[in-house]
Structures are given as structure tokens and as C-alpha cells.
Structure 1
Amino acid sequence: MSILIRQASIIAMDKQHGSTPFVGDILVEADRIRAIGPDLGPPVADTVIDGRDRLVMPGLVNGHLHSGEALFKGRYDNMPLELWMLYCYPILGGQPPGDRLIYLRSMVVAMESLKNGVTTVVDDVYELGGQSMDQLAQVFQAYDDAGMRANVSGHIMDRPFLDTIPFAHEMLPADLRAKAGALATPGMGDYLDFCRSAAARFNDRSGRLRFMIAPSAPQRCTEPLMLAADALARSIGSPFHTHILETKTQAVTGPEFHGKTLIRYMHDLGLLHSGTTIAHSIWVTDDDIALMGDAGCSIVHNVISNQKLGAGIAPMRKLLDAGVNVALGSDGICSNDTPRMFDVMHAAGLLHSVSSPDYDTWVAASEVLECATIKGAKSALLGHETGSLEAGKKADLVILDLNTAPFTPLNDLRNHLVYCENGSSIESVMVNGEIVVEDGKLVRVNEGELLAELREAWAAYRPAHAATEAENAVFHPYFAAIHKRCTSMDVGINRYGSDMPAWKGHNRRAS
């Protein structure tokens, strides 16, 4: 089947045009863009779409998310990462969700993403008690059914949990150290075998899906695992996707554990390279940024999640200027509470203007669009396939109606997309040459039925999770003390939106 979009406003994000709009045609044949240009001549296609008063842009790329958190959206507030993880990623584990619930939580992310113009997601999936192949298959099945493009990981941590947090052994009482220490850690050989099997089973499924290698973080994984995972990622063409320096506690972690920053630690292990994608990268030093730029690695800026968890403000301008490939991500669907990338773009466009009075350093709407499209695709090692509208690339695109309030009156389309649009103007979404959202509605799946099923399944699972929260709450005051100790330390930089925190001597707990 072929589709011709005629005389639309186009933001291609290619090398020729960048984010500069132009009017033209796009011819899609099968799963790829066959041609794009000002005028492709008389219509010769199975379907012709009138592009007048329409904007066509590349599908948005969510460079980092955790779909497993979709069950907990709207559940927590006013907790920094180290406390929030006690409830969303509980130390003592809990009852794993059933396979159908895993499918449904993945599907709600896929549905909301597609309806809001996200055609590609990078989903770092963690399962309580370790991930099985059947559980992973449910995530892939959901994205396959919805029609998304996705990199999906099997998340792993192989260090004992208390060994990943500075001062934990010192500040926790013996009974809680014993509880945490009794938990088994996964074996490196089993994890690598799992990854090889998953890649063989899922890579290139439906021309849209791939398995991704994603060891959690350098402080949570042993050196042998990080090195072996990197070698495997290179061999199968996967990003080496990890988390580094999200919080000030993690800025303390590197010097406490290794006598150097975590970025320097990664560099010294040979783990900084163009295939490395780092989620967050907030508490990086200038030396760290130089190392990252020289390596040509990527970071994913999760601007909304970082604000909600009080993690700090990533030095986006410094990272961009150093040559680091900066993508945008929602992060978890509980630390952001939505996978909507228009929200992320809006926040990224605004936040960095308060980081400096030097307005020449502020992040422009055109740069935000680049980070949400082609740079996001590059961070997923998919830049050769998606992220821009070019002949030969996959047909992943979004059609927006310009006769809507967010585009009225019409001025600079780039500014409208970043500062005005919220996804409500989206008319159609195409992934892999297939229209998966039409007239604002999902084509492949019944959204209402799936949402109703998820609500029922969550009602049945919620008591088990509440019991898990209660069991893990015993760690709360001790982790609050660790957080206070670490954030009160001088690490040579400040990534908060204010001077050092003024402690009031109280800590809120999840209800």
C-alpha cells in the first residue's frame, strides 16, 4: 500500500532542513518514505491525504521510560528518588504482577504514547523478583499489538542492595541489614544467557521491536557484569543503556565507592562510547561532561521526572555544547506520571531559561525538537531508521491539524510545537508506514475495553502492593537520614534550583 500526503507543512529534522518548515509532499510505500519534496508531481498512490492546513513531523522518541511503573501513576508525591524507590521498587520485593497485568500496564503506556505522537519508546523494564521470558514477552506483545516501535530491556542489578547506597551499612540497624542482605542477587551468566535468548526471539519483530541491554547503573552492577553487558550490546547492535548521576546521593556514591566520579569510573572501564546511553546525567562535573563529549555518548534528559523527584537540573547547555547527544525522555510512568512527550518538550524548553540570566545560553525550541526526534533516535541507535523524515527511512510520522487553538494565530511552528501544543491537535500517527492513530483514535486496539480491564486488574492487585509498601516502609526513616546526609555534603557542584537545602527536620511518608 502507498500513501501520498500532498502539500503539507513539513518539519523534517533532516540534515538539509533541520527544524525549518517547508511545504511539500511525502510519498510512503510499504513501511518506508519513498520520496519527500516540494512537489512530487501528480498523485500516484493508493491513498492521498490533503496536507493543506496540516503539519507533518517525525514521530516523537521517548528516550527513556519504565512502563512497569504504569500501575503506580498518581500514587506518590514529595519523595526524592531514594525514598520513592522503597515503594515503587521495594527492597524486599513483593508479589509480582501476573502476565496479563504486565501486558495491560504496557498497553496503557503504548496507547497514551501513540495518541500523543510518540512513535518510538525505549522501555527499561524491571520486574519484582527478576524477569522471566514470559513476562518480557507480554511487554513485546503489547507494543506489537498497538503498533509501536520500541527498544525493550531486561533491567538488572547484581550488587547486594545495601552495597549500592552510600552509608547504608553504617546507618541501618542490624535487623534491617540482615533482611536486605538475605536477598539473592542474579548471576551474571544467567543474565547474559537471558539477553542472548531475548535478542534472538524478539529482535526485528514486526520490523519495529528490539531487545536492549540495560544494566541498571554502575553503582548497582558489578564491574564484570557491566563489561560483559557492554560487549554483548556491541555484538547485537543494542545501546548500552544505563542510569548515572540522577541524584546528589549518586554524586556522593562515586567518590565514596571508587574515589572518583561515576562518569570517570565508566570512562576508566572503557564504557563511554557512542553506543552508551546514560539516563539523567544531572550531577556531572565539567570534567565528566568533557569525557562524555569526547566519547560521543548519549544522555536522556528526563526533565519532568527530575523535577518531581527533586533530583536537580541537568546542565543541558553544557552537555549540548560539549557534543553529547541529548535525547528527551519521560522516565517512569510514576515519577513523571505520564509518557506524553509534548509535556516533556514544554518543560525542557522552559526550565533551562531559569538556569542562567545569559539568554544566549537558553535552549531554543528548535533544539528541543531535535532532542525529541532525531537525537532521541540516535540515543536508541535507531537514527538510521527513524527520527527524521527522509527518503529511505521508516515512515514514522505525526500529522497535526493547524486549524486548532494551539496553532491559532499561526506564527513559528517550532514554538507552537514546544510551547503551545499538548497533543490535542494530533490527527493521525503513522508507524512503519501504517496509520495507527486516525482522527485521534487508536486503530489497532480497543482503548476503552483495555482501560476497563486494567482498572479491574489493578483493583485486584492493589492490596498486595499496599502490603509490600507497608513492609518496606520500615526502611524509610533510615533512607531519609542517608538522603539528608548525602545532600548536605559538598560535592563541588550544585544542580538544585536553589542554594543548599534548608532542612526542616521532618520527612513525609507515602500514604
Structure 2
Amino acid sequence: MSKSSSPNQPSSILLRNGLLATFTKKDGVTTTPSAHRADVLIQGDKITATDKPRSLDPPDEALVIDCTDKWIAPGFVDTHRHVWMSIVSGHEDWTLAEYVAKLSFIAALHVTAEDVYIGELAGCLQALHGGTTAVVDHFHCSNSANHIEKAIQATIESGLRSMLCVSCPSLPSSFEPPHAQISEIQIETLKTLAAKDKGRLTPDGRVTLGLAYDMQGLNPTEDERIISLARELNITPITAHSVGGPHLKAYSKKARLWNEAGLLADDVIFSHCTDLGHKGCDESEWELLRKSGAGIAATPEDELGMGHGEPVTYEAIKRGVKVGLGIDCASITSTEMFPAMRFALQHERGRAHKVAADEDKALKYNAFTAASAFRLATLGGAEAAHIESKIGSIEIGKLADIVLYDANSINLANIIDPFKGIVFHATAADVEWVIVNGEVVKKDGKLVRKEWNEVAKELKRCAGNVRDRYKESDLEARYNALIKQFELQMV
């Protein structure tokens, strides 16, 4: 494939006279900041100045971008995505238990390191194309050291900012009963990677090493060993699934269990936390999450459709718990964060309207604005991922992860408010420029580091190979076996 870096990147970029839409640390969680015209100066990897429009002078040889007809906004921070899963497809109609049985217990076992490379690369590029500049990547296909190495290679080549959370363990080592063995190869690989530069997988810190750990509670001694090792080696964040409910009872009460084991801290991100909306939930977990500083990664699009349960996104906001958004899997939902914002906001509005309607009343106003969903996908996501001091907003001193929207596009031409426009009307087609760490990775609507057509050819080839390897497998038999093993009550 073509070049994987951009040697002609300017050392400075001046964004001139754009309509700036961002939350800052001074803005309240449920406020709506005022969008305003501004210049933004990027030098190296950081934002060094913001000022009145046409007031900043560009340094010598700076790239000057006329943003008169553009919106300037922070890139999205996706707090939960299985990036490698761009190599698999066709899961849009599955339930959660069906996904576990057919993907985790069958299809994923046939994914090679070569497949992981192209899936990871395509997934990173899909994120960038849609204006997502940072991802918490729950990499649960770490079947070998080579799989991990290829995922890292692809992520670095893409230009995406990634907290690459290597799963330990990865996939089930037996099915009847289901069991996963922590691999010492994975442990040694983590130690080796962390030792190079304190968890930094690139010299500029754009890609860092995290841990995905879903085995907590099965072996307390191993839990203590693995989590303590991660913290000792500066492997952060640590992310885990918390779902519960009829489809995934084994993943319930996770905040409480981590706390009881002495493992809950502010470097943890729990994905979904839909268990907090299920019958028999532990209400005290909300306070555990708030006090510990642990974050929630909500993925409302697939949570609603697969059986995870009701999204708890806005309930977390009300209770003062850190929460961000994610897309989860490209094989199930959109690769863009725009639907995630809409699903989160409209679900909360629909819930509130129903509560009122059940009492024969009508809400006079919606409690949460479009801007609140924008915050969830930007600064809120950075807070949930524990990196709000570095990214998530456009402020002096922060890393330059910035998106420019075409305000004259078909979708946005008559939209005055960029917060509303980005949440309700925009798509990846409106994302004109993407800057990560001060580097232009999408320009005039086209990805810079890779030729997508070449990536697409390899993606289709490898995806076909994966399907061929398990085409003789009886997916329905595996699903029925899982239903029986976990004593799921299906209707």
C-alpha cells in the first residue's frame, strides 16, 4: 500500500476565521457554550493560541487554512471500540448473546495476524474519516504476540490517537464449559511493550498501551497480579465490560466486584454499565463510580438493539459520573460517532417524554440540549478516558486534535448553530479536514496517510478468507449450546 506517513506536514497551522464550537473546562456539563468566530494557531502538536478572527499572524512557512465557511471543533473521543472488527461483517441483526456465541466463540478464532492488521488499519481510517481522532480500543483479538504487534503497527500507520487496550486473556480456550486461560505470552508481551517507553508505543505518545480485562472475579489471585502489573508498568486505561441483564448475567455488578477486590480506581473504564438499569441492579454502584472516578463508555446504538439494556448515558450525567460515547463494533453499527450522539440524546428525551405521558402530562421543554450530546462525544469522552487534560476541547496547551466541517455542505449549509449541526445533521461527508497531534490526516475530504481504495481491496480479500475458514461451522448449534450453558431464558 501507499505511504504510511506524511513527511511534508507543516510545523505550524493557522486556522483563520472559523466558527469555533467547543466546550472548555470552565463550561458546565449541561450548558450550551456560544460558538464564535476565531483564529486557532497550532505549533507542533499543540494549540498555542486562540484569538479574535484574523488577529493571529502565521509563523513562517505555516499552513494557513481559510475557515470562513468552516466549523472548527475538537475531534471525537470514542471510549469503546473494537477496532479490529472491521475485518468481520454481517452482525447488524444479532442479539448480544448471539454475538458472543457466533463471533467470540467461532469467527474470531479464525482471524490471523494478517487479518488483524488490515482490520485494525481499516477501522482506524474509518474512525478518522468520521472525525474521530482518539479511540479507546478494546483489542480482544490478542490471540498471539504477532496479533498484538500487527494491531500496533496498523494503528501507528493510520495516524489515529489510540489507547490500545490489549485484552488479557483474549478469546475462550474451551467452550464446554466456557473458559479462557490467561496466556503468559500475553503477559510477557505487555511487559516488553510497556518497558520500552513507559507505555508509549510511539515517540510522540499518540499510541499508548492500555489493558482490557474481562476476567475479574474468576481468579482473585490472577486479578491482583494482572491489574497490579498494569498499574506498575503505567499501562492505562484499564477497560472492562459491564452489561448484566438477561443476555450477559456474568458481566453484572462489575463496579461493586472490582471495589470489593480492591481494584476499582480512576484509571478504569467500564463499557456500557447497562446493568445499572436492569432489574435487581445495585444502586450503590453509582456512588462507587462517582467516588472512584472510574468512567463509563456508553454505546447506545447497539445497546438498544442487541439486548444490553437501556443506555445509562444521561443517568450518569445526573449522578456526576464520568461518561463518554463509543460505537463498539463496525460489524454492528455505524463507524461514525454522529449516530451515537443522536441515539444517546433521543433515547433520554424519549424516556422523559414517556414518564410524563404515563401521568397524562407533556414536557414543556426538553431537559437536555444537542450541545450536551456534543460534549459526550468530545470533552466528556476525554474525561471518561482520563485524558481530559490533553484532548477533548480546543484550548491553549492542549494537543491539536481538531476537525474542520464544511459549513456549505448539503447537510449543513442552512444550519446556524454548529453544536446542533454536528449532533443532528452532520455525517462523515461533512468532515473536510482532520488534524491529529498537529498532523493533517484528512484533507479536503480525503485521507492523507493511506489510499483507501487499496485498503478496501485488502480488507475485502482478508475478510473473505476469514469467512471461508469458518464457513463449515454450525453457528446456530454454537448459539443454542451457549443458551443452554448459560441457562438463558429466551422468548
* Aligned with residue 337 of structure 2, among 336, 341, 350: 341
State yes or no: 1:410 paired with 2:415. yes
CA distance in 2: counterparts of 1:228 and 1:211, whole angstroms: 18
CA deviations 1:276-306 (Å, max 9, x no partner) are: 1000000113322222122221000011121
Amino acid at match of 1:230: I
CA distance in 2: counterparts of 1:148 and 1:206, whole angstroms: 14
1:144 equivalent in structure 2: 156
1:287 equivalent in structure 2: 284
CA distance in 1: counterparts of 2:172 and 2:116, whole angstroms: 26
Q: Tell me: CA distance 1:158–1:228, structure 2 relative to 1, closer, same or farther (3 Å).
A: farther
CA distance in 1: counterparts of 2:213 and 2:15, whole angstroms: 42
CA deviations 1:14-71 (Å, max 9, x no partner) are: 1246743121110011111111122473522312111112110001111111123212
Amino acid at match of 1:343: P
State yes or no: 1:197 paired with 2:192. yes
Amino acid at match of 1:214: A
Contact 1:213–1:241 (CA<8 Å) still a contact in 2?
A: yes
Q: Tell me: CA distance 1:457–1:125, structure 2 relative to 1, closer, same or farther (3 Å).
A: same
TM-score of the superposed pair, with normalisation by structure 2: 0.86
Contact 1:69–1:88 (CA<8 Å) still a contact in 2?
A: no
Q: Tell me: CA distance 1:229–1:370, structure 2 relative to 1, closer, same or farther (3 Å).
A: farther
Amino acid at match of 2:22: A
1:332 equivalent in structure 2: 329
CA distance in 2: counterparts of 1:21 and 1:92, whole angstroms: 46
CA distance in 2: counterparts of 1:161 and 1:460, whole angstroms: 22
State yes or no: 1:307 paired with 2:304. yes
2:22 equivalent in structure 1: 12
Contact 2:46–2:398 (CA<8 Å) still a contact in 1?
A: yes
CA distance in 2: counterparts of 1:158 and 1:395, whole angstroms: 33
CA deviations 1:241-280 (Å, max 9, x no partner) are: 11112543444765xxxxxx33322221223222110000
Q: Tell me: CA distance 1:100–1:160, structure 2 relative to 1, closer, same or farther (3 Å).
A: closer
Could you tell me how far 1:362 is from its partner in structure 2? Answer: 4.7
Contact 2:106–2:470 (CA<8 Å) still a contact in 1?
A: no
CA distance in 1: counterparts of 2:55 and 2:398, whole angstroms: 21
1:214 equivalent in structure 2: 212
Amino acid at match of 1:192: I
Amino acid at match of 1:196: K
* Aligned with residue 478 of structure 2, among 463, 475, 479: 475
Amino acid at match of 1:7: N
CA deviations 1:318-356 (Å, max 9, x no partner) are: 2112111101001122232x3211121122121221222
* Aligned with residue 26 of structure 1, among 40, 46, 52: 40
> Higher mean Cα deviation, 357-366 or 116-125?
357-366
Contact 2:105–2:172 (CA<8 Å) still a contact in 1?
A: no
* Aligned with residue 258 of structure 2, among 266, 272, 279: 266
Give the secondary structure class of the aligned counterpart of 1:290: helix
State yes or no: 1:224 paired with 2:240. no
Give the secondary structure class of the aligned counterpart of 2:470: helix
CA distance in 2: counterparts of 1:117 and 1:297, whole angstroms: 26
- What are the residue-to-residue correspondences of 1:112-123 with 2, within 5 Å? 112-123=126-137
Could you tell me how far 1:95 is from its partner in structure 2? Answer: 3.1
Give the secondary structure class of the aligned counterpart of 2:167: coil
2:6 equivalent in structure 1: none
Give the secondary structure class of the aligned counterpart of 2:58: coil
Structure 1 residue runs of 5 or longer lacking an equivalent are: 163-175, 255-260, 488-502, 504-511
State yes or no: 1:37 paired with 2:51. yes
CA deviations 1:369-417 (Å, max 9, x no partner) are: 1111112122333222111111111111000111123223223321111
Percent identity over paired residues:
22
1:426 equivalent in structure 2: 431
CA distance in 2: counterparts of 1:420 and 1:402, whole angstroms: 11
1:320 equivalent in structure 2: 317
Amino acid at match of 2:12: S
State yes or no: 1:135 paired with 2:147. yes
Amino acid at match of 2:181: T
Give the secondary structure class of the aligned counterpart of 1:289: helix
Could you tell me how far 1:237 is from its partner in structure 2? Answer: 5.2
Q: Tell me: CA distance 1:478–1:136, structure 2 relative to 1, closer, same or farther (3 Å).
A: closer
Amino acid at match of 1:347: F
Contact 2:239–2:271 (CA<8 Å) still a contact in 1?
A: yes
Amino acid at match of 2:37: V
Structure 2 residue runs of 5 or longer lacking an equivalent are: 1-10, 357-362
State yes or no: 1:65 paired with 2:81. yes
State yes or no: 1:456 paired with 2:468. no
Could you tell me how far 1:455 is from its partner in structure 2? Answer: 1.3
CA distance in 1: counterparts of 2:160 and 2:285, whole angstroms: 35
CA distance in 2: counterparts of 1:78 and 1:482, whole angstroms: 22
Q: Tell me: CA distance 1:146–1:330, structure 2 relative to 1, closer, same or farther (3 Å).
A: same
TM-score of the superposed pair, with normalisation by structure 1: 0.82
Q: Tell me: CA distance 1:105–1:92, structure 2 relative to 1, closer, same or farther (3 Å).
A: closer
State yes or no: 1:376 paired with 2:381. yes
Give the secondary structure class of the aligned counterpart of 2:440: strand
Q: Over aligned residues, Cα RMSD in angstroms?
A: 2.6
Could you tell me how far 1:143 is from its partner in structure 2? Answer: 1.8
Could you tell me how far 1:440 is from its partner in structure 2? Answer: 0.5
State yes or no: 1:352 paired with 2:364. no
Amino acid at match of 2:274: I
Q: Tell me: CA distance 1:231–1:20, structure 2 relative to 1, closer, same or farther (3 Å).
A: farther
2:7 equivalent in structure 1: none
CA distance in 1: counterparts of 2:435 and 2:109, whole angstroms: 39
Give the secondary structure class of the aligned counterpart of 1:154: strand
Q: Tell me: CA distance 1:6–1:17, structure 2 relative to 1, closer, same or farther (3 Å).
A: farther
1:186 equivalent in structure 2: 182
2:140 equivalent in structure 1: 126
CA distance in 2: counterparts of 1:48 and 1:213, whole angstroms: 39
Q: Tell me: CA distance 1:12–1:237, structure 2 relative to 1, closer, same or farther (3 Å).
A: farther
